[in-house]
Amino acid sequence: DQQVKQNSPSLSVQEGRISILNCDYTNSMFDYFLWYKKYPAEGPTFLISISSIKDKNEDGRFTVFLNKSAKHLSLHIVPSQPGDSAVYFCAASARYSGANNLFFGTGTRLTVIP
Amino acid sequence: EAGVAQSPRYKIIEKRQSVAFWCNPISGHATLYWYQQILGQGPKLLIQFQNNGVVDDSQLPKDRFSAERLKGVDSTLKIQPAKLEDSAVYLCASSLVEGGSTEAFFGQGTRLTVV
Of the candidates B31, B41, B107, the beta carbon closest to that of A100 is on B31
Of the candidates A42, A99, A104, the beta carbon closest to that of B43 is on A104
Q: What is the pLDDT of residues A60-84, one digit of tens each?
A: 999 999 999 999 999 999 999 999 9
> What is the model's pLDDT at position B13?
97
> What is the model's pLDDT at position A37?
96
| Rg of chain A on CA atoms, in Å | 13
| Residues of B whose CB is below 8 A from A106 | 40-42
B32: contact with A, CB 8 A cutoff: no
> What is the model's pLDDT at position A95?
73
| Residues of A whose CB is below 8 A from B42 | 4, 6, 89, 91, 104-107
B109: contact with A, CB 8 A cutoff: yes
- Exposure string of B40-58, with b = 16+ CB inside 10 Å and e = fewer, is eebbebbbbbeeeeebbbe
| Residues of B whose CB is below 8 A from A44 | 43, 91, 106
Could you give the CA distance from residue A111 to residue A108 in angstroms, rounded to a whole number? 10
CB spacing of A104 vs B44 below 8 angstroms? yes
**Edge-to-edge order in the sheet of strand A72-77:** A4-5, A19-25, A72-77, A62-67, A56-59
CB spacing of B42 vs A105 below 8 angstroms? yes
% pLDDT > 90, chain A: 85
Q: How confident is the prediction along chain A (114 residues), in pLDDT tens digits per residue?
A: 689 999 999 999 999 999 999 999 999 999 999 999 999 888 999 999 999 999 999 999 999 999 999 999 999 999 999 999 999 999 998 876 666 688 999 999 999 999
